[in-house]
Structure 1
């Protein structure tokens, strides 16, 4: 049945939106899929997603595929003044009154005029929010004068799944970066210890004395200590370079 088919498509879409732990994840494509899903499942005239940049400012609007220029222009305008802008500021849903109402005209005069001219009856914005973290907001434009309860519930579900996927991917990326930094720090420490041991054995001095020589050379030449240790391990630095005039350098 068509109704069952729509439910199955919606279920598959929700799963897709949360499956983001991949190396080729693209936030813009992720946002476009949400906009496309809003058009498909609630029959919206247009939809756009605005993600917040790391500094908290609104990023560019990502439109659904195939939306005509007037719809894209309206979504861009709303980013400056309209329901999605208010949702990004407040972190809450903004369920716009019918755009034919005085309330909407008073709240967003320029946007309301442009929306009515484009045949939009109502606009509502749903934040992409997970607990205390606000990632952005999605704006949905419909020809109907108000958002139907079922449509709003679908957009909420799509937005929630999108947010979970987006935040999970961000956390995964941070953990991968941190893991790489820790691995490199450990490898650096191992190289420094190896260089200390090589010099201490060759010069018949304590590891602490060997380390002071390494550190002194690094400071004197304004080089990272790990770079100097790597050169010692690979025998790219001679004893004469490390401690000119020292024992065994003549």
Structure 2
């Protein structure tokens, strides 16, 4: 058995050990993976975010609510490592976000500084040309992943991709895993709200999304929460763009 095979076997055993008897579906399995990778690599947090289209996202699994807030901040601001890993289809590895990430993500880095995140590693979940989303790992200030840690992280991303393939195999005659289906439904609110803002303010669709992001950030909401409130008639970005 090679070193990589041994590492994969160990990670499979860790994930098997952490599986609960009542676990159901891909979303719960991804949540278990997020918690397990955090324990194995001593992380601040981890997330799996699905991105079914340009501008669309769904934070499907998280290790903690802190990790969810760090992740969601990217989509409210329109910048961050998960987005970059998805669009480039390449891992984003930043061992010191204050030194190496501030110029790249001038809004996101200050926004998450109070959470204690100091390094970030984002791995696209893809098979060939098909990309599902991103596994993002957040490391506390003063720490970073070494070469072995990066290899283990990559294996966790491979397992996450396998979970997603199991839950959504095209042409196999099965519906999308219910947990994934419910998670992706959150995007419907963003799309619907974007259209409502476009009509109400008389602006373009991209400008409507930009206004929503700005208003969500200014009012301390995440983008999905604001979108729900817009659809329900309880909120609307102001005409002055603030």
User: Normalising by the residue count of structure 1, what TM-score does the alignment of the two structures yield?
Assistant: 0.56
Larger radius of gyration: 1
Greater percentage in helix: 1
Specify every segment of 5 or more residues in structure 1 that has no aligned partner in the other structure, as ranges: 1-5, 17-23, 179-250
Query: What value does the CA root-mean-square deviation take over the aligned residues?
Result: 3.1
Alpha-carbon distance in structure 1 between the residues aligned to 2:155 and 2:47: 16
Residues 47 and 64, structure 1, Cα contact 8 Å, conserved in 2 = yes
SS in 2 for 1:147: coil
Match of 2:130 in 1: 133
Specify every segment of 5 or more residues in structure 2 that has no aligned partner in the other structure, as ranges: 1-6, 18-22, 176-242
Deviation per CA, 1:17-41: give whole Å up to 9, x if none.
xxxxxxx963322321221122121
Match of 1:146 in 2: 144
Deviation per CA, 1:139-170: give whole Å up to 9, x if none.
11111443222221111101112212322442
Deviation per CA, 1:172-217: give whole Å up to 9, x if none.
x632259xxxxxxxxxxxxxxxxxxxxxxxxxxxxxxxxxxxxxxx
1:116 positional shift? 2.6
Pick the aligned partner of 2:72 from 52, 66, 76. 76
* Structure 1 stretches of 4+ moved >4 Å: 6-9, 13-16
How many pairs are equivalent?
Answer: 163
Residues 82 and 111, structure 1, Cα contact 8 Å, conserved in 2 = yes
Alpha carbons of structure 1 residues 122 and 56: separation in structure 2 relative to 1, 3 Å: same
Match of 2:109 in 1: 112
Residues 95 and 145, structure 2, Cα contact 8 Å, conserved in 1 = no
Alpha-carbon distance in structure 2 between the residues aligned to 1:168 and 1:97: 32
Match of 2:13 in 1: 12
1:49 aligns with 2:48: yes
